[in-house]
Amino acid sequence: MRRRTKEQVARELPAKQEQVLEVELDPRHRRLYQRQLQRERQKVLGLLDDVDRNRFTILKSITLLRRPCLHPGLVEAEHAHLGSAKIDALLEQLGGVVGSGHRALVFSQFTGFLDQVRERLDTAGIGYAHLDGSTRDRAAVVRRFIEGAAPVFLISLKAGGFGLTLTEADYCFLLDPWWNPATEAQAVDRTHRIGQTRTVMVYRLIARDTIEEKVRALALRKAALFAGVMDEGDEFGGALDADDIRALVS
Residues 19 and 137 in one domain: yes
Q: Is the pLDDT of residue 95 over 90?
A: yes
Residues 112 and 134 in one domain: yes
Residues 96 and 51 in one domain: no
Residues 111 and 235 in one domain: no
Q: Which of 155, 143, 82 is nearest to 118 (CA)?
A: 155
- What is the domain range of residue 44? 27-81+210-249
Report the distance separating Cα 206 and Cα 179, nearest Å: 13
56-85 pLDDT tens trace: 898 888 888 999 999 998 888 888 888 899
Sheet harboring 152-156: ordered strands across? 16-23, 200-207, 171-174, 104-108, 152-156, 128-131
Q: Is residue 8 part of a domain?
A: no
Residues 67 and 93 in one domain: no
Q: How confident is the model at residue 224 (pLDDT cuts 50, 70, 90)?
A: low
Q: Is residue 107 part of a domain?
A: yes
Residues 106 and 94 in one domain: yes
Q: Is the pLDDT of residue 104 over 60?
A: yes
Q: Is the pLDDT of residue 223 over 70?
A: no
Residues 122 and 203 in one domain: yes
Residues 49 and 67 in one domain: yes
Residues 60 and 71 in one domain: yes
Q: Is the pLDDT of residue 88 over 80?
A: yes
